[in-house]
């Protein structure tokens, strides 16, 4: 399906932004130069009639994203946590994408529950409310168990959501291919692999059995974390399209006025959110990958309650150690060690100059320390980091995409609670605690023991594996294959799309 027909989807994205008025708002939020604004408006205007009208009661950007589909809504959810990037007004508008989208009828939800659980709703639940939250993929109903009276949350997938997501992801693949063809320098960022990774994450989110399993594992890992709660899973009332969890009572993390009225200390909450994320990522290697305000509540006692476990991240132990060394290196301003870690992990090609890379890292890190967080321009910092990575030939690490994205989201949540939070000072105790636990004599002995167990398990096979490797090396190299030529349709599609990339860039900004 990733063919030229997706050009229409590309055009429609820009046209929808122009028709809904989102083009002007988005360009202003990102402070685009006047010449760029005029050029993009001129390119998009002839295609305006192809755009979706959307819901006129919504703000322009929210209206455009909801009209374009679930994948675009996911993008808007991320931007809603970054007022320092898109501005306070636009971030506030985008917050409705987190859990306040138009719901589908309660009757359809009841029918989905009965089909999935193969029992009447009235037999399972003594109460089953209208939707209390609706997001891009599913909606939630407040219910009460008929057998015990316990309050629960019943999550039900939107009808036809699988097909809608496949359509959007198909268009993203087409866009990634166009970017690779038109901008060879972008290939080091591996846009096709980035979309492939995103597809895997999203398709996993569309099976609520996997989300229930993630919730159970996450609850087990965090059972001892003070100030953090994960609702329990009701496995007998969960399936592929329906999931039932314990009810999470509390104030939404995005409702700052209600948090203040309840007497919670927002500075403490901001620090706790950041530290919990780092603890889960470093200690467990398993973290909540969608920690925006719509998925977090503050309980009466001040505990943070997390829910919506459709997107979870997992990183191996070696990557965790590399990540921790990089963070602690920045905290201690040891840029030489940070540079060495990048080279040791293979993140930077070995033929580059490690001292030059350390100097570039110092230029990134120094402006952060001692500065009030509200004065840091994340947009400028990310722009400079991109220049550094391009200069040193770093490639996108697909296994770290979700970790990096979630770190940005969590930082945005923390700053919404406390605009003056010092990210590095809040992270330091968690990272240093991990360093003490996993870097030292005890960690070395643990690694040696684990290595010995692996060698003992595979010991009988080692001679055969070594012999097979030697045989492969002794074989003559295979003749080089002739590169295939791109078909005429691809080149026609690429040429046509070249004039529309500007419009799409505005639409996906």
Query: Helix (H, G, I), strand (E, B), or coil: what is residue 188?
Result: helix
Mean local confidence (pLDDT), 262-269: 94
Residue 108: in which H helix or E strand, if any? Answer: helix 106-117
Per the prediction, the chain carries an average pLDDT of 79
The string of pLDDT tens digits covering residues 375-401 is: 555 445 555 555 676 677 776 565 566
Mean local confidence (pLDDT), 9-16: 80
CA distances from 340 to 282, 371, 421, 424, 499 (A): 20, 26, 29, 21, 43
Task: Give me the catalytic one of 290, 308, 316, 334.
Answer: 290
List Cβ<8 Å contacts ≥24 apart for 367-371.
Answer: 368/330, 368/423, 368/424, 369/333, 369/424
404-425 burial code (b ≥16 CB/10 A, e <16): ebbbebbbbbbbbbbeebbbbe
Q: Which of 205-209, 427-431, 480-484, 493-497 has the lowest mean pLDDT?
A: 493-497
In the block, residue with structure tokens 């029918």: 111
Ordered DSSP codes for 12-38: HHHHHHHHTTHHHHHHHHTT--HHHHH
Q: Which of 65-74, 334-343, 473-482 has the lowest mean pLDDT?
A: 473-482
Residue 153: in which H helix or E strand, if any? Answer: strand 151-157
The predicted structure's pLDDT at residue 484: 45
The predicted structure's pLDDT at residue 298: 95
Q: Residue 133: phi, psi to the nearest 5?
A: -160, 140
Dihedral sign computed on CA atoms, order 163, 167, 173, 176: negative
Instruction: Count CB neighbours of 489 within 10 A.
Output: 10
The predicted structure's pLDDT at residue 502: 40
The string of pLDDT tens digits covering residues 144-168 is: 999 999 999 999 999 888 888 888 8
Structure token digits, residue 102:
């138009």
The predicted structure's pLDDT at residue 504: 38
DSSP letter at 284 equals: I
Q: How confident is the model at residue 204 (pLDDT cuts 50, 70, 90)?
A: confident
The predicted structure's pLDDT at residue 389: 65
The string of pLDDT tens digits covering residues 334-366 is: 889 988 988 888 878 888 889 998 898 888 777
Structure token digits, residue 56:
């006129």
Measured between alpha carbons, how far is 54 from 136 in angstroms, rounded to an integer? 15
The predicted structure's pLDDT at residue 395: 65
The predicted structure's pLDDT at residue 213: 95
Measured between alpha carbons, how far is 276 from 226 in angstroms, rounded to an integer? 10
The predicted structure's pLDDT at residue 488: 42
Mean local confidence (pLDDT), 107-116: 94
For residue 290, indicate whether it is catalytic. Answer: yes
Question: What is the biggest distance separating any 2 CA atoms in the chain, rounded to whole angstroms?
Answer: 75
State the first-to-last Cα distance of the chain, in angstroms, to the nearest integer: 25
Residue 242: in which H helix or E strand, if any? Answer: strand 242-246
Measured between alpha carbons, how far is 427 from 332 in angstroms, rounded to an integer? 12
What pTM, to 2 d.p., does this model score? Answer: 0.71
Measured between alpha carbons, how far is 408 from 414 in angstroms, rounded to an integer? 10
């Amino acid at each position: 399906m990733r063919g030229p027909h997706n050009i229409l989807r590309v055009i429609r994205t820009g046209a929808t932004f122009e028709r809904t008025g989102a083009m002007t708002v988005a360009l202003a939020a990102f402070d685009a130069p006047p010449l760029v604004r005029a050029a993009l408006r001129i390119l998009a205007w002839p295609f305006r009639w192809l755009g979706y009208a959307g819901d006129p009661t919504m703000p322009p950007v929210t209206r455009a994203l909801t009209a374009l589909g679930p994948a675009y809504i996911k993008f808007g959810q991320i931007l809603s946590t970054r007022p320092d990037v898109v501005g306070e007004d636009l971030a506030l508008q985008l917050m409705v994408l987190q859990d306040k989208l138009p719901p589908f009828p309660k009757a359809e939800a009841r029918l989905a529950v009965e089909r999935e659980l193969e029992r009447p709703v009235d037999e399972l639940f003594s109460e089953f409310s209208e939707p209390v939250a609706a997001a891009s993929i599913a909606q939630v109903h407040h219910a009460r168990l008929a057998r015990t009276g316990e309050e629960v949350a019943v999550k039900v997938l939107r009808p036809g959501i699988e097909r809608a997501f496949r359509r959007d992801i198909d268009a993203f693949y087409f866009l990634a291919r166009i970017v690779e063809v038109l901008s060879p320098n972008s290939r080091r960022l591996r846009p096709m692999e980035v979309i492939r990774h995103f597809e895997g994450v999203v398709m996993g989110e569309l099976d609520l059995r996997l989300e229930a399993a993630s919730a159970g594992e996450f609850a087990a890992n965090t059972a001892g974390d003070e100030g953090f709660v994960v609702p329990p899973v009701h496995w007998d009332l969960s399936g592929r399209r329906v999931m039932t969890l314990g009810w999470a009572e509390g104030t939404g993390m995005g409702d700052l006025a209600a948090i203040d009225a309840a007497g919670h200390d927002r500075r403490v909450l901001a620090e706790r959110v950041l530290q919990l994320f780092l603890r889960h990522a470093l200690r467990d290697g398993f973290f909540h990958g969608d920690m925006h305000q719509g998925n977090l509540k503050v309980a009466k006692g001040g505990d943070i309650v997390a829910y919506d476990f459709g997107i979870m991240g997992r990183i191996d132990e070696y990557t965790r150690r590399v990540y921790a060394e990089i963070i602690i290196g920045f905290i201690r301003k040891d840029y030489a060690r940070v540079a060495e870690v990048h080279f040791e992990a293979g993140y930077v090609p070995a033929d580059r100059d490690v001292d030059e890379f350390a100097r570039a890292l110092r230029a990134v890190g120094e402006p952060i320390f001692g500065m009030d967080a509200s004065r840091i321009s994340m947009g400028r910092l990310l722009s400079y980091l991109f220049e550094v990575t391009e200069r040193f030939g770093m490639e996108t690490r697909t296994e770290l995409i979700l970790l990096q994205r979630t770190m940005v989201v969590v930082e945005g949540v923390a700053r919404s609670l406390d605009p003056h939070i010092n990210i590095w000072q809040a992270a330091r105790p968690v990272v240093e605690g991990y360093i003490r636990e996993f870097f030292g004599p005890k960690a070395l002995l643990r690694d040696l023991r684990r290595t010995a167990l692996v060698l003992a398990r595979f010991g009988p096979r080692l001679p055969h594996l070594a012999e097979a490797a030697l045989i492969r090396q002794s074989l003559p190299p295979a003749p080089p294959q002739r590169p295939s030529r791109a078909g005429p349709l691809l080149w026609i599609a690429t040429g046509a799309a070249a004039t529309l990339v500007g419009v799409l860039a505005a639409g996906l900004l």
